[in-house]
Chain A
């Protein structure tokens, strides 16, 4: 992470494709799980990365070097998505069909089912659970990304997981 910030500070144009390659997939799938919508996740991923590049172009080297790139990227993506997702949360959302990416999984993994379960969490819990367990960020990175205290984020994750357990239990 620190290495990437150093590389960006040294030569933004050369290093930026590495940000896209390393973090683009996690950004897309995290946003996808938060929204349940491929097109929206794709649009937000693209927009967030473009805005990140523009922001980096205007930062001086010191500022870039001090960045924790992935939480910073998530701050941009979540701010972009906020209005959009808030609007979406007010209406029924069609859940897209599962896609081929997990076809090889021995346990037939219903992505649509998980999208539906995650949609039942409140927004803070869903964001925290997805960032922690789908994207794989640390709790302190999530706190930085969402601009909330570490303790609150931990509680959101804890309650979100508990709720998912309840939902799964109710299903079986």
Chain B
């Protein structure tokens, strides 16, 4: 056997885990990890650009992710730079120092979500307020649709946006009851919301 052919045998397959690491590092796949939240365990997905989605840790989340984002998903740890701020972002209901990846929504929807992220904890705003804030006062329905498409609920607090008549409105994470749970936990007086403004003492 020649030296050349011996050298040719000093090779093999790519070690397990490298191609997954590359997929995660390039953002061709997202990582996911489990976190606790006011609504129980949630799945947070992320890539080098930031957090890409939050979903209830229920069966089928991987399929829901694949349908919506068309990227692969691997169990992973979030980038160490901002990993430790994720629990805080979930608890506070604002991104803070956690970057968010909103490539999955339109520019209009992203405007709505960025504005939503500024609503303080324990406060609510009507859809029409949000529409005015992004200088699209007539786009109230579209604003509602944008919130329904919020890929990062809890961290982008779409639960703080309610109907002008004080009704709670829809919620994108599970059902409308989850919205009630979150708002009550933040100390929002849901009954007071339903009273017309002139009757609020």
Given A50-B25, A133-B8: A25 touches B13 (CB 8 Å cut-off) = yes
User: Once bound together, how far apart are the Cα atoms of A42 and B28, in whole Å?
Assistant: 19
- Alpha-carbon distance between A30 and B26 when the two chains are bound, in angstroms: 22
Cβ of A69 < 8 Å from any Cβ of B? no
Cα A66 to Cα B25 with chains together (Å):
25
B12 at the A interface (CB under 8 A): yes
Please report the C-alpha to C-alpha distance between residue A101 and residue B3 in the assembled complex, in whole angstroms: 19
B48 nearest CB neighbor, chain A only: A50
In the complex formed, the residue of B with least CB distance to A14 is B28
Contacts of A25 in B (CB 8 A): 11-14
A24-B19, A24-B22 are contacts. A105–B9 as well, Cβ < 8 Å? yes
Interface size classification for chain B: 20 to 34
B22 CB to closest chain A CB (Å) equals 4
Stretch from A78-86, A106-114, A139-147, A148-156 contacting the other chain: A106-114
With the chains together, A112 CA to B131 CA distance in Å? 67
Which chain A residues numbered 23 to 43 have a C-beta less than 8 Å away from chain B?
A: 24-26, 28-30, 33, 38, 42
* Chain A positions within 8 Å of B22 at CB level: 20, 24, 46, 49-50, 53
Q: Say whether B107 faces chain A, with CB atoms less than 8 Å apart.
A: no
Partner of A16, one of B10, B18, B28: B28
**Residues of A with C-beta under 8 A to B14:** 20-21, 24-25, 28, 45
B-chain residues with CB within 8 Å of residue A46 when the two chains form the complex: 18, 21-22, 25
Query: Contact: B19 with A102, CB < 8 Å?
Result: no
Known: A17-B19, A50-B22, A54-B26. 6 other contacts (CB 8 A): A17-B28, A21-B14, A50-B26, A53-B25, A102-B12, A161-B3
